[in-house]
Amino acid sequence: MKIIKTVKEMQAEAEKLRQAGRVIGFVPTMGYLHEGHLSLVRIARERADVVIVSIFVNPTQFGPNEDLEKYPRDFERDERLAEEAGADIIFYPSEKEMYPAGYLTYVTVDEITKTLCGASRPTHFRGVITICAKLFHAVKPHLAVFGQKDAQQAVVIRRMVKDLDFDMEIVVGPIIREEDGLAISSRNSYLSPEEREEALSLHQSLKMAEEMVRKGERRTRDIVDKMRKLIEEKKRTQIDYIDVIHPETLKPLEMIENRALIALAIFVGKTRLIDNTIVEV
Ligand code: AMP
């Protein structure tokens, strides 16, 4: 497995692969790899000839009081896990490489970045979209694989790719969970045992919502109220948002008519966790 640290070298390698007719699959990550990331590497492995994983903790997507400094990092472990899962190349640029002194350009997507996570993290998506655009120019992938765990991110990146005519496909892989249902996240490592227990309420509330829909409930307000209650029963939780929205437009839904995305962000202690499910009637 190759490790490439500069944009120039990455572009040269990608160009060589393209010239040779190889299909490039790309999995962008912030490292501290877990089963969620590795599942995306395996999807890329099935669909592409060459799999490139990027590891970059992107400072521009963190707000001023967020966890950039303490975000977990372990490159040696990532290297081993990525290789085992089938990665051929790790793109591992430094902060200076991606944002050299004098850097000024940002990419934004309107409207769909203002709700859900964008409401409480107003500069987050600008950072995510900018780094994805830059990574796509470095890696020149035919397809990039994102996780449904970050449902809004996947919708936003799809929109950027469509609107800016990036010649590539966006593939979305399912949410990978721990055995007890907690969606796997690098940020789960921040949770104390008590918080870890209470964090199960995210998944539990989504399961309850699925059950309500299955039994015929269509009014989103009633679903959200019940979810809210279940989560607020825990001592250490604080709700950022619980929303029922259209899975593609992200517009709020009053009634569930066919497909709906139920998404939530909850603070458990100081850790902000997200999760979601898609329901269909
Ligand atoms: P991150 O390193 O948190 O930026 O995540 C990199 C990619 O992995 C994103 O596309 C995430 O949506 C995806 N991802 C993170 N956690 C999971 C999970 N539990 N299941 C599936 N995909 C995930």
Counting ligand 1 atoms within 8 A of each CB, the residue from 33, 38, 40, 71 with the most, and so the one to mutate, is: 40
Residue 270: burial class (beta carbons within 10 Å; 0-12, 13-18, 19+): exposed
Q: Which residues line ligand 1 (CB under 6 A)?
A: 29-30, 36-37, 39-40, 146-147, 149-150, 173, 175-176, 183-186
- The torsion of the CA quartet 157, 162, 163, 167, rounded to 10 degrees, works out to 100
Atom of ligand 1 nearest to the CA of 145: 10
Q: What is the reported pTM?
A: 0.98
- The torsion of the CA quartet 12, 13, 14, 20, rounded to 10 degrees, works out to 110
Burial 73-103 (b: 16+ CB within 10 A, else e): eeeeebbebbeebbbbbbbbbeeebbbeeee
Where are the extended beta strands (E) located within 94-206? 143-147, 169-173
* pLDDT for residue 23: 99
* pLDDT for residue 116: 98
* pLDDT for residue 30: 98
Residue 262 backbone dihedrals phi, psi, to 5 degrees = -105, 115
* pLDDT for residue 201: 98
Residues marked as catalytic: 37
* pLDDT for residue 120: 95
Q: Give distance in angstroms: CA of 19 to centre of ligand 1.
A: 30
* pLDDT for residue 251: 97
Atom of ligand 1 nearest to the CA of 187: 3
* pLDDT for residue 15: 98
Please give the structure tokens belonging to residue 245.
């929205």
Spell out the per-residue pLDDT of the chain, length 281, in tens: 999 999 999 999 999 999 999 999 999 999 999 999 999 999 999 999 999 999 999 999 999 999 999 999 999 999 999 999 999 999 999 999 999 999 999 999 999 999 999 999 999 999 999 999 999 999 999 999 999 999 999 999 999 999 999 999 999 999 999 999 999 999 999 999 999 999 999 999 999 999 999 999 999 999 999 999 999 999 999 999 999 999 999 999 999 999 999 999 999 999 999 999 999 99
pLDDT digit string, tens, across residues 122-159: 999 999 999 999 999 999 999 999 999 999 999 999 99
Atom of ligand 1 nearest to the CA of 176: 20
Q: Give distance in angstroms: CA of 146 to centre of ligand 1.
A: 7
